[in-house]
Chains A and B, each alone.
Chain A
Amino acid sequence: MMNSPNNDYAKYVLSLAGQPVGGGSRVRYDRDGDCIEFFTCGDDFRAERVDDLVTVYYSRDTQQIVGSLIKGASKFCSALGEKMPGLAIEIKDGPVKLEHLFLAGKWAKEHNKITSLTYEKLARIAEESDATAELCGT
């Protein structure tokens, strides 16, 4: 009997289950989605869309922020680079600090107080985690 693609897929994914999990913050730039995903721990989470740029992940256990998704990351960095050439150099020359992206997101446009506070929290968490991402292709 031939395996269906979905069976092959599930089999492969389940084979990954034995890997060590959690263990501090992790960041990944996804070229397919042009987005940066950031986790501070391995908690189960629900996503909450903050605005066009950011979706926040809240722990189901603690209700605290345990990660985030920065959408249109390279586009956002390019736009920032046009406004702030210094930042463009920093991004081009190496990994970008997520803390800077969150602060830039906060100041990029007018937000309500809750959204501004969320950006500040994200920036603080990113700073504490020393979270950076390599933006390929920017």
Chain B
Amino acid sequence: MPGFADSKHYLTIKAQSPNGDSTWDVYISYERLGFIARQSKGAVMEAAHIVPEILARPSAIFEGLRRDEDEDKYGNGAMCYCGIPTVAYDKNGSPTQPWHDEVFMVFLNAECVAYNWYWHQCDCDLNNYPDGHVERFRRKIWP
């Protein structure tokens, strides 16, 4: 649980741990979810279904956002889970095929708070990795 908060502020999701052989807890703030909910029904469906799916079954987990400005204030522990979910959602919340040539990314800070997620262009060779992953992250920690 993030040190500065408690269950009043965060929901817990089970995620694959970076070593790949167990699960650990990831937190998402109620405040962020409330903000996302005003975006669209699709954003709600994405948060409800795709975020947990990617956290539970990522294609890869990267550690350390490489550039200084990319790092969160807690230092080098920041991680990114990425993958291609089984479905995507349009803005009305209807399921559709995952977006072509894109990968879903979920960003965590060092206290395991998932603070952002979105679809991004995939790598041209590894379509379940994000474009630019080599320059963007310090290292891949899973698989």
Contacts and interface: CB of A to CB of B under 8 A. Distances in A.
A49 B105 CA distance: 12
B93 A17 contact: yes
Contact of A30 (B12, B32, B90, B102): B32
Contacts of B41: 17, 21
Nearest to B101: A46
Interface stretch (A71-79, A86-94, A115-123, A124-132): A71-79
Contacts, number: 135
B interface: dominant SS = mixed
B35 A28 contact: yes
12 contacts: A6-B52, A13-B47, A16-B44, A17-B93, A22-B39, A28-B32, A28-B35, A30-B115, A33-B115, A44-B40, A52-B68, A53-B69
Interface residues of A, number: 44
A26 B35 CA distance: 9
A28 B35 CA distance: 8
A26 B38 contact: yes
Given A9-B28, A10-B48, A57 B109 contact: no
A71 B70 contact: yes
